[in-house]
Amino acid sequence: MRTIESIAELRAAVADWRRAHPGGTVGFVPTMGYLHEGHASLIRRSAAENGLTVVSVFVNPLQFGPNEDFDRYPRDPGRDRRVAEAAGCDLLFMPSVDEMYPRPTATRVVISGLTERLCGASRPGHFDGVGTVVAKLLHIVMPDHAYFGMKDAQQVAVIERMVEDLNFPVRIVPCETVREPDGLAMSSRNVYLNAEERRQAVILYETLQLAEEKFLEPGMTPGKLAEAMRESIRRAPLAVTDYAEVLTWPDLRLPEERPFDAMPPGSRFIAALAVRFGRTRLIDNRLLEIRTPAGKE
């Protein structure tokens, strides 16, 4: 594995590889580092599906609000190198903030419609920062496939839309959320939790399990399901709900308030939540689909 800090060098390394491997594909895993098993699974998938795998580690200041955790976001470049290499990364791109933003960027990628709710509402400007950095990274790496974890489902929807709207020549590959044994979604921010918060953080997973069960109850509506999720989160005394919503997937609109069992088969929804434990904000989600009744396929 080669570690590269400059954009020009990364571009040259990818171009050299493409010249030497005509028809070979390049996979890309963008990350903010502090790599865990969730990232490793994305890297392994890219390595299995492509001849060259590029991983970026860059804590992007543009996607953090003024009162958010940019400065204290966990960083461990040495461990990132070891995890990335063990998972099959070939080129590890670790640019500095100056390399990515040599001067304040006058250009922002704004993906509207999909960003007004959920994390877009709680973190104003966050998805402009994500869209801008991902657009830059995709232009730098020029991959055939880019791998994103579904824990950040809204991010996946936003990036897929940007890539489609702006004709980026890349296929976005959404990958299943990797979880701890008790169901908590893996996240670099889990390290912020103290022992009691960590114990109670399983409420996110339990709430989504409950949402999946309740979704099938006769007469259940999106609004009632969201309320049941909020009630479930209240069972964890340290948890403060930031949002618990049920939206259409993948366009993230508020669904009509009528029973799911009166909606057409194939309709898809996302049950999404963000919960704070002290200063730590955790997110998770579950996709829900109205199945075609048996025998009617």
Nearer to ligand PAF, 152 or 242 (CB): 152
Nearer to ligand PAF, 56 or 232 (CB): 56
Q: Name the minimum Å distance from CB 30 to ligand PAF.
A: 4
Cβ–Cβ under 8 Å, residues 109 and 155: no
- Measured over all CA atoms, what is the biggest interatomic distance in the chain, rounded to whole angstroms? 61
Cβ neighbours for 118, distance < 8 A, ≥ 6 positions apart: 154, 243, 245, 247, 252, 272, 274
Q: Name the minimum Å distance from CB 137 to ligand PAF.
A: 7
Q: Name the minimum Å distance from CB 152 to ligand PAF.
A: 5
Closest among 211, 271, 201, 205 to 239, alpha carbons compared: 201
**DSSP, residue by residue, 28-82:** EEEE-SS--HHHHHHHHHHHHH-SEEEEEE---GGGS-TTSSTTTS---HHHHHH
Nearer to ligand PAF, 151 or 286 (CB): 151
Q: Name the minimum Å distance from CB 72 to ligand PAF.
A: 16
Q: Name the minimum Å distance from CB 262 to ligand PAF.
A: 36
Cβ–Cβ under 8 Å, residues 210 and 227: no
Provide the binding-site residues for ligand PAF, judged by CB under 6 A: 30-32, 60, 63, 130, 133-134, 152, 155
Under DSSP, is residue 291 helix (H, G, I), strand (E, B) or coil? coil
Nearer to ligand PAF, 155 or 177 (CB): 155
Cβ neighbours for 194, distance < 8 A, ≥ 6 positions apart: 278
- Catalytic residues, by residue number, are 39
Nearer to ligand PAF, 120 or 222 (CB): 120
